[in-house]
Amino acid sequence: MSFKLPELSYGYSDLEPHIDARTMEIHHAKHHAGYTNNLNNAIKGTEFENMPIEEILKSSNLSPAIRNNGGGYYNHCLFWEILSPNPKQGSSAFIELIEKTFGSHEAMKEQFAKAAATRFGSGWSWLCSKNGKLSICSTPNQDNPLMESGCGGTPILGLDVWEHAYYLNYQNRRPDYITAFWNIVNWEKVEAKYQASL
């Protein structure tokens, strides 16, 4: 068994103007494909072969190659899933949960954006579910909340803040990319991930 680069449920140009087609193509067909191939090579002949990716990420003795490429594989799979050119709202119960946790939807977005903007260098910001509770964190490089170094929650929304995710269009304006991201977040999918985490 080996991991496969997932097909996107939308075209490379469909997320424009928020994420441009060229960035999407390089990001998916080069970067994500690279993580996927490198992960498959790194686990070959090891105890991690045939293990679900979540179990690999939770393991305590990851080599740098498996940690970086396993994280890269999983993180990008999640990222593509929660984006949509036709984003849907979550249920009123899920919206209420966000409001109850963070004070308001806007306050949640602010806290998430702060985690994304202040992540030095390359990394990700996350909305996580842990025992039904929501929280926000960020991780460096291709690390992930599921890892030993992570918050221990299950990521249900993630934002890639590596320069490869935005530099062609936004250059050094990471905050503009973060603001644009909210226009293409499919909350229906985020909620489905929350439900699956329970």
Q: By CB under 5 A, name the binding residues for Fe ion.
A: 160, 162, 165
Indicate left, alpha or beta for 45 from its phi (over 0: left) and psi (-120 to 50: alpha): left
Closest CA to 176 of 166, 163, 187, 188: 166
With CB atoms as reference, the residue minimizing the distance to Fe ion is 160
Residue 49 or 176 with smaller CB distance to Fe ion: 176
Give the nearest distance from C-beta 75 to Fe ion in angstroms: 7
Residue 156 or 165 with smaller CB distance to Fe ion: 165
Give the nearest distance from C-beta 163 to Fe ion in angstroms: 9
CA distances from 88 to 12, 85, 186 (A): 19, 10, 5
Give the nearest distance from C-beta 161 to Fe ion in angstroms: 9
Give the nearest distance from C-beta 72 to Fe ion in angstroms: 7
Residue 31 or 105 with smaller CB distance to Fe ion: 31
Give the nearest distance from C-beta 107 to Fe ion in angstroms: 27
Question: H or E segment at 194?
Answer: helix 187-197
Give the nearest distance from C-beta 94 to Fe ion in angstroms: 26
Residue 57 or 165 with smaller CB distance to Fe ion: 165
Residue 30 or 44 with smaller CB distance to Fe ion: 30
Gap between the Cα atoms of 190 and 1, Å rounded: 28
Beta strands in the chain (DSSP E): 123-130, 133-140, 154-160
Return the residue matching tokens 């308001």: 104
Gap between the Cα atoms of 50 and 89, Å rounded: 36
Residue 24 or 146 with smaller CB distance to Fe ion: 24
Closest CA to 6 of 52, 67, 59, 74: 74
Q: What is the rounded (10 degree) CA torsion for 144, 149, 151, 155?
A: 10
